[in-house]
Amino acid sequence: MLGAFLIFISYQQFTPDQLEEIKSYLRDADYSYIAIGLVFAMLSHLSRAWRWNYMLAALDKKPTFLNNIIAIGSGYAMNLIIPRSGEVTRAVIVKRTDDIPIDQGLGTIIAERVLDFILLLAITATALLTASSEILDFFRDGLNSAFAKANPIKITVYLSILAVLTVAGIFLLKKLKLMKKVRSFLVGIQDGFTTIWTMKHKWWYLAHTLFIWGMYLAMFYVCIFAIPDTDSMPLSAVLCAFVAGSFAVAFTNGGFGAYPYLISQVLLLFGYGATVGTAFGWIIWLSQTSLVIVFGLLCFLLFSIRKT
């Protein structure tokens, strides 16, 4: 819904000539660089599948590399439909293939996401440090504006409603005698989460984490050469656009609509036209989403075959 809204408001601003310019960028791009970017993206997916076993080994579980790939590819595809549903999908699949309890599997995935988020914050800090004062002022003004528009009364009402719903939920769980099951499920998640400290090969896990994010950055960077107008993009612009795209993917259905919109808005601050920024965002999003769809469908197919 958010993505469709962003597409609507962003394309309302373009004249027919500008829309034709965006199409020409898409049509004339050098897709050999996009293909290289897809290789980097695929390597990150494979590394993520390998990395997962370091945590699962601490639970005395070790699915095959292929089963991990199937779970991760299927999870990525599900995220395109329902944001963040991919994590649950991964846990459900390894439960079916390797009898790993869903709660423990989910705990390892949450720990993985926490570490990934820390890496993203580090890249965000680096991006802001390398950016010009105008970029920093833009983000500072945006935050100040958001806080200024915040209505304390509405926030209090929303928090009160949330508190009431939480208390009511706990009361209902106790009434239905489900509290013990919920507690047991949360303990399982905690067991999975703590494997980030109890696993044996922490340094290998960290090395894979750095490799994964290195591949993400390499994928994004190599794509700037697909369009002549972006091939000399400075590192600060690359990092800021990468961060914007990463948050778009994290908080929407795979970044639909939000990914090209946010990237174009960031690149505007670096002097790039709205048309080239939008086209650049769409080229990366379409290529990566196509990979996720193909990869995900293949993984779903392999899962159905291995189940039978």
- The rounded distance, in Å, linking the Cα atoms of 239 and 121 is 12
Give pLDDT < 50 ranges for the chain. Answer: 146-147, 149-150
Q: What is the pLDDT of residue 142?
A: 52
Start-to-end CA distance of the chain, whole Å, equals 37
Instruction: Return all residues near 112 (Cβ < 8 A) that are at least 6 apart.
Output: 51, 52, 55, 196
Structure token pair of residue 296 = 């995900």
- Cβ distance 280 to 227 under 8 Å? yes
What 8-state DSSP symbol labels residue 29?
A: S
Domain range summary for the chain, segments of one domain joined by +: 19-307
Contacts of 221 (CB under 8 A, 6+ apart): 238
pLDDT value, residue 55: 87
Place of tokens 């080994």: 57
Per-residue pLDDT at 146: 46
Which ranges of 58-132 would DSSP assign to H, the alpha helix? Answer: 65-81, 85-98, 102-130
pTM attached to this predicted model: 0.82
Closest CA to 219 of 30, 44, 73: 44
Residue 218: what pLDDT?
96
